Structure 1
């Protein structure tokens, strides 16, 4: 039987339910475990962590919305991740980790052989936490590192921290999705990110929704997409003080890049490079229907690209 999924949201879990979940983990019958916003005792959380450590089938673990609520749970999760070898996506959105908690998790995250997607949105991180995250984005020639990274709603990070992240992204050979929405980035950080996008050979999705951008940074982003071929195909700029005219110009340029890619593939299919990142691919979602509700973030995190990352790793 193929591994299935266990998805529970906002429930208070009994010891019997925890026991069933742990048995499924040990029997390798679970590929996706989501307990977002659930209530469970510290003892039962420890049992879940031991089940995660023993599982060889678990590919996606969702503990969003406060499940990892104290240092003791952080330590238990870290121990589980040191043993587990199968998890590819780990979601901790809305967990009060702080920099101290991430420091405890970081050694396990750094050595995990399969992890490609990590959500640390709304985890109360600061610059020290971002420094640790940068270590999960190794430069060319190093181990694979993360392909999808969410750092939404971490207002404690300063421009210095975001600048360091931009440098890491520019030199990373793997990052495809970067979600920085609902952080007070401003135009200075947006300029640094534009340089990172122009330098990156892999970044396909950049979410800058609600990040305090103005026409100044939009003009920088416009110059970037106009003059530098990149892998970028989705740029989210909703809920910023950017004029409709500039947004339309950026949208038009992204659309042109996508059309050129499609025409190239249609006219010369036998000469098309199998590595799609060596071609300019651009599309645009400037004004999506979004909500600040954490559940909407899950839609973005577990998007089609996230599924493709799991499929590629399995292959």
Structure 2
């Protein structure tokens, strides 16, 4: 057998991790070993000191069989609380500094794992302070990964610039089905980048569906690669404008199944656009708008009803995510303990400090207190307790009176507004009645003017019209006479022109035979006075010499 170049590497990732820890001189972490047995690596980076990082990095680089990689930071999540007005800093911040130095090395190891592993399905990096260079490196690994299905960068401050870089890779990485960009500082500009990814993948899927539909085949839309779930929870700067961008891009989308928009600052205006989108989109089975307190309950019920109808009323593979208020849900709130007096308390004059304990009455709390010298509750007389109760009753009555005063002020203001609206309405009604009366008056005047014009009439215009009709008919009658004189009377008969018709028209126009005959004679005279050469040129047929006009009948 041929000699091997070096020692054989064990296949068990846990053994490899232990060996690396021995080389670095550190103790292996039990949670890492337990996770590697199931081909998973889940770590809270706050627990890793600087000497513990190299074995973990080496394990990621060699972990071609890892299925799930997850890194979280609770301290970075706590620093996110400054965005909501709550800032807490721990005394020891050394792990956070170590994480900042080790993040480039971690991202490089993850990129190597993405390039070489065909088993990695999920990558979660939550609340890590990634910069643009590290995001760019991760984007290159995502574009080349052959098996990654789930990507979560929840809590990472990638903003719109980092999201733009990631979207360039998401257009190519068709194996990724679920992405989570919750609490990443994304605005509606970032939503536009995501919609471009959805549209690009939709074009590729349509082409693939067309190719699969050839030769009488039916394409299976559910097995086509691409985004299926998009989570943008707790990004309040998305607001209504981002919701409108999503609504414009998703009416014809057939593959996106779940859209999470919890606590994104969306109001009824954005919800209306999403409702209009759901009318034409029957593929979305999860549209989570919880935490958007500006949306009415009826609107939410309408959206939930439509989504439930799309899902067919049954369970789907896409579940509803739990509601989280924000990063403060990750950090446990610590309350200052109330130190009882008498045990290291203030010396001298006695003082009383009552701790707020839920479910305990005032008298019981007073019984359990002690004074500065360590005396019992007997030092507090029943009279003081009674005075305290009376003071509480007075305070309660004062609060009730203040509330009633506020309600009365509000009712008075509402009454004043109602009275103003009534006055405005009466004024508008009076204006409308005045305008209607003015319209009736104008209509009456218009009718009077019309009747006056009809009574007066326009005799001059009628006479001129009749005269023009008579002159045109007489000219036409003379034209027929000319045709007969020339010998083309048959042509007029073929055309349906008869002298009797023209005579009847002239009689109806002039009112008698005398006028007709007179007009006909005048027309014939005026026609015969014109040069015969021009008449001969205008008439069709052979030209007749001037000397032969005397020989024609009727001349």
TM-score tier by shorter-chain length is: 0.5 to 0.7
Q: Does 1:219 align with 2:255?
A: no
TM-score normalised by length of structure 2: 0.40
2:198 counterpart SS class: coil
Query: For 1:250-294, what per-residue CA distance to the aligned partner results, in whole angstroms no more than 9, with x for missing partners?
Result: xxxxxxx6xxxxxxxxxxxxxxxxxxx6x73368xxx99743255
Distance 2:190 2:44 in 1: 28
* 2:125 paired with 1:50: no
How far apart in 1 are the matches of 2:170 and 2:73?
Answer: 22
- Whole-Å Cα distance in 1 between the matches of residues 329 and 251 of structure 2? 28
2:4 is the counterpart of 1:5: no
Q: Which deviates further from its counterpart, 153-162 or 201-210?
A: 153-162
- 1:108 to 2:169 alignment: yes
Higher relative strand content: 1
Using the TM superposition, give the Cα deviation of residue 158 of structure 1 relative to its aligned residue in structure 2, in angstroms.
Answer: 4.0
Q: Distance in 2 between matches of 1:89 and 1:44?
A: 19
- Rounded to whole Å, the distance in 2 between the matches of 1:160 and 1:280 is 30
Q: 2:178 corresponds to which residue?
A: 117
**How far apart are 1:116 and its partner, in Å?**
0.7
Give, in whole Å, the separation in 1 of the partners of 2:203 and 2:136: 31
Unmatched 5+ stretches in structure 2: 1-10, 12-36, 75-98, 206-224, 331-555
Aligned to 2:437: none
Q: CA deviation at 1:188?
A: 0.7
SS of the counterpart of 1:170? Answer: coil
The answer as to 2:313 corresponding to 1:281 is yes
**How far is the alpha carbon of 1:32 from its aligned partner?**
1.1
- Aligned pair partner of 2:121 in 37, 48, 59: 59
Separation of aligned partners in 1, 2:286 and 2:263: 16
| Alignment match of 2:325 (pick from 289, 292, 299) | 292
Q: Are residue 18 (structure 1) and residue 50 (structure 2) matched?
A: no
Q: TM-score, normalised by structure 1?
A: 0.68
* In structure 2, distance between residues paired with 1:96 and 1:197: 31
Report the alpha carbon displacement of residue 83 of structure 1 after superposing the two structures with TM: 1.5
* Separation in structure 2 between the aligned mates of residue 112 and residue 85 of structure 1, nearest angstrom: 8
Whether the 8 Å contact between 1:54 and 1:83 is mirrored in structure 2 is no
Secondary structure of the corresponding residue to residue 90 of structure 1: strand
How big is the shift at 1:222?
Answer: 4.1
Match of 2:264 in 1: 183
Flag the 1:14–1:282 CA change in 2: closer, same or farther, 3 A: same
Distance 1:188 1:162, change over 3 A: same
Contact 1:136–1:145 (CA under 8 A) maintained in structure 2: no
Are the aligned partners of 1:35 and 1:62 in contact in 2 as well (CA < 8 Å)? yes
Q: Number of aligned pairs?
A: 241
Query: What is residue 282 of structure 2 aligned with on the other side?
Result: 201
1:75 aligned partner: 136
Seen in structure 2, the aligned counterparts of structure 1 residues 8 and 74 have a Cα distance that, compared at 3 Å, is same
Distance 1:59 1:203 in 2: 23
Aligned mates of 1:290, 1:84 — CA distance in 2: 31
SS of the residue corresponding to residue 137 of structure 1 reads helix
Match of 1:270 in 2: none
Give 1:219 deviation, angstroms. Answer: 2.6
Alignment CA distance shift 1:295-1:113 (3 Å)? farther
* Residue 148 of structure 2: aligned partner: 87
Paired with 1:76 and 1:47, the residues of 2 have a C-alpha distance of 10
Equivalent residue number for residue 134 of structure 1: 195
Deviation for aligned residue 1:45: 2.4
Q: Mind listing any 5+ residue stretches in structure 1 that lack a counterpart?
A: 234-256, 258-276, 298-315
Q: Give the deviation of 1:196 after TM superposition.
A: 2.0
| Separation in structure 1 between the aligned mates of residue 151 and residue 163 of structure 2, nearest angstrom | 13
CA deviation map 1:28-63 (0-9, x unaligned): 311111112283332232122222222111111101
The structure in which a higher percent of residues are helix is: 2
Equivalent in 167, 173, 182 of residue 254 of structure 2: 173
Q: Cα 1:224–1:58, aligned 2, differ >3 Å: closer, same or farther?
A: closer
Q: Counterparts in 2 of 1:140-155, with a 5 A limit?
A: 142-143=204-205, 144-155=225-236
Q: Match of 1:63, SS? A: strand
Measure, in 1, the Cα distance between the counterparts of 2:290 and 2:256: 19
Give the structure 2 partner of residue 159 of structure 1: 240
